[in-house]
Amino acid sequence: MNRPALCLAAVLLTGCAAAPAPPSVVSAPLIERELTLARPTDVRWTNDGHILITDLEQGIARFGISDLEPAEWLPEWPAGQGVGSRYMYLGLSERFVATADLAFGLRWRGTGADDAIVSQPIEYVADLDVHGDRLLLAGLRRDENADLGADGAFAWLASLPGGALRPILPFTDRGAIENCAGFHVATVRFLRDGSFVIVPGAEPGIYLYDAQGRLQRNVDVAPLNLLSECQLSRDEQSLVSSQPEARQRWINRHRIVDDVVELPSGPALIIRSRQSDVTRWELVPLGTTESRPLPFTSPSPWAHAAADARDGRVAVLVADQVPNREDGAGPRLIVWQP
């Protein structure tokens, strides 16, 4: 039933208020600049004036928010040398930096000048974050017998520098997780107080935990019409496993959570969708359906957003996940304040 019909039915019963005004757009960007990085993937604030951006092959770059300051590559994070050593995801606290490749490549190090990189092989990493000395990780891992997913977990907590993973969120369908491995539909994020959010993407629900790792809420994704099941036919599985373009076209048929940020009002979802040949993003406070379009779009069907918030400002990296396409677009850094 459409909105006027619903309203008419309500008038007949109890009266109906006027339809709400369209949602306002989040305030215009404070800063928007093009980036010269080849394959930027993730972003974190380091302080009020600087951010870190991972590049899939080159490492981690430190940027000044001002256009006047060039990028500085962090020498303690050398360029990737193939699968397992590339930079897909980034987590940062005052004590540790962690990064991971899509497969086999979880690494972390302390922020001290003499600290060394510690590596731990993980079969599949969906996302990660760091808070203090705690690591939050999503994906799938093998046990000592090389059995995939034997612990039944999709997400874990670990204390650094040791890194022993403690299961925190079980999966219900390992096949669904495997189907969407590499689709970038999962997100994990620590909040300032140490609580955290897990968005599996491949399975229903958005999970909010307290700082002790106790589940507080399971938010229903149905009202937001978000992807909640990665069920693929045999033909689709064969196609998307070998063709990144086909994988992205499948993603473009769905609404997904590209990232989670913490605003002064609380955590919020950055939701991506592809509409009328334009990639768009909207901001939705967690647990609500109150959507506000974000003040940027991309013509590229391959574009996704990674974001981080600090003191009310949000830095957003918009970059293509399928590179070097004629219909693609160059990466951008956007800073805005809700």
pLDDT at residue number 26: 67
For the stretch 46-83, pLDDT in tens is: 999 999 999 999 999 999 988 767 789 999 999 998 88
pLDDT at 23 over 50: no
Query: Does any domain span residue 4?
Result: no
pLDDT at residue number 238: 75
Residue 42: exposed, middle, or buried by beta-carbon count in 10 A (0-12, 13-18, 19+)? buried
Distance in angstroms (rounded) separating the CA atoms of residues 25 and 327 = 26
* DSSP H/E element including 5: helix 3-13
Query: Does any domain span residue 116?
Result: yes
pLDDT at 13 over 60: no
Distance in angstroms (rounded) separating the CA atoms of residues 135 and 111 = 14
pLDDT at 2 over 60: no
pLDDT at residue number 24: 54
Distances (CA, A) of 212 to 93, 132, 157, 190, 216: 18, 13, 10, 12, 11
Query: Does any domain span residue 5?
Result: no
Give the CATH number for residue 325: 2.120.10.30
For the stretch 233-290, pLDDT in tens is: 778 877 777 788 988 999 999 999 999 999 999 999 999 999 999 999 999 999 999 9
pLDDT at residue number 231: 82
Distances (CA, A) of 308 to 44, 82, 267: 5, 27, 11
Distance in angstroms (rounded) separating the CA atoms of residues 178 and 314 = 31
pLDDT at residue number 190: 98
Query: Does any domain span residue 318?
Result: yes
Q: Is 138 helix (H, G, I), strand (E, B) or coil?
A: strand
pLDDT at 3 over 60: no
Question: Which residue range is the domain that position 162 belongs to?
Answer: 32-336
- The mean pLDDT of the chain is 89
pLDDT at 19 over 70: no
Query: Does any domain span residue 19?
Result: no
Query: Does any domain span residue 274?
Result: yes
Query: Does any domain span residue 56?
Result: yes
pLDDT band at 153 (very low <50, low <70, confident <90, very high): very high
Q: Which region among 159-163, 278-282, 296-300 has the lowest average model confidence (pLDDT)?
A: 159-163
Pick from 2-11, 176-185, 243-252, 312-321 the range whose average pLDDT is largest.
312-321
pLDDT at residue number 16: 34
Please state, for a pLDDT cut of 70, what percent of the chain lies above it.
Answer: 92
For the stretch 78-113, pLDDT in tens is: 999 888 999 999 999 999 999 999 999 999 999 998
Query: Does any domain span residue 260?
Result: yes
For the stretch 167-218, pLDDT in tens is: 999 999 998 998 888 889 999 999 999 999 999 999 999 999 999 999 999 9
DSSP 255: B
Number of domains in the chain: 1
